[in-house]
Amino acid sequence: MDIVFIKQLEVISTIGVYEWEKSVQQKLYFDLEMAFDNKPAAMSDDIKLALDYFSVAEAVNKFAQTHCFELIETMAESVATLIMEQFSVPWIKVTLHKPGALPKAQTLGVQIERGKR
């Protein structure tokens, strides 16, 4: 199985446990790795047979803008489910970064894998 990836996809979302976080929007960054059979698309040069990076990025961005969560764990799980269901991806690794959340750290985050390669 091939891997299609998107690195450092920037989205804006309302996310956080603290009250002040629930009234502001914050930057999050997604790293997505998705199992997908690229051979049919490669053989035909047909976007309809490929995992459309743009459509995946747009779906994640729209989801992040329209959903509020307290935990980044919940956001990562929800995005993994969204991509697997909407794009028929059998396996996904989602790494979600929340930069600036800790004073002395560049970023913090979670990484999950769902499905089978």
Ordered by start, the domain boundaries in the chain are 2-115
Q: How far apart are alpha carbons 15 and 108 in whole angstroms? A: 13
Spatial CB neighbours of 68, under 8 Å, sequence gap ≥ 6: 13, 14, 15, 22
pLDDT digits (tens, 9 = 90+) for 63-107: 999 999 999 999 999 999 999 999 999 999 999 999 988 899 999
The whole-angstrom distance between residue 75's C-alpha and the CA centroid of its chain comes to 9
Supply the residues annotated as catalytic. 98
Per-residue pLDDT reduced to its tens digit, 41-69 = 999 999 999 999 999 999 999 999 999 99
Task: Report the alpha-carbon distance of residue 16 to residue 60 in Å, rounded.
Answer: 18
Tokens of 24: 């502001």
pTM attached to this predicted model: 0.93
> CA 38, 39, 41 angle in degrees (round to 5)?
70
Residue range 2-115 forms a domain whose CATH class is alpha beta
In the prediction, which pLDDT does 82 show? Answer: 98
pLDDT at 102: 87
**Which pLDDT belongs to residue 20?**
82
Q: Which of 79, 76, 115, 113 has its CA nearest to residue 97?
A: 76
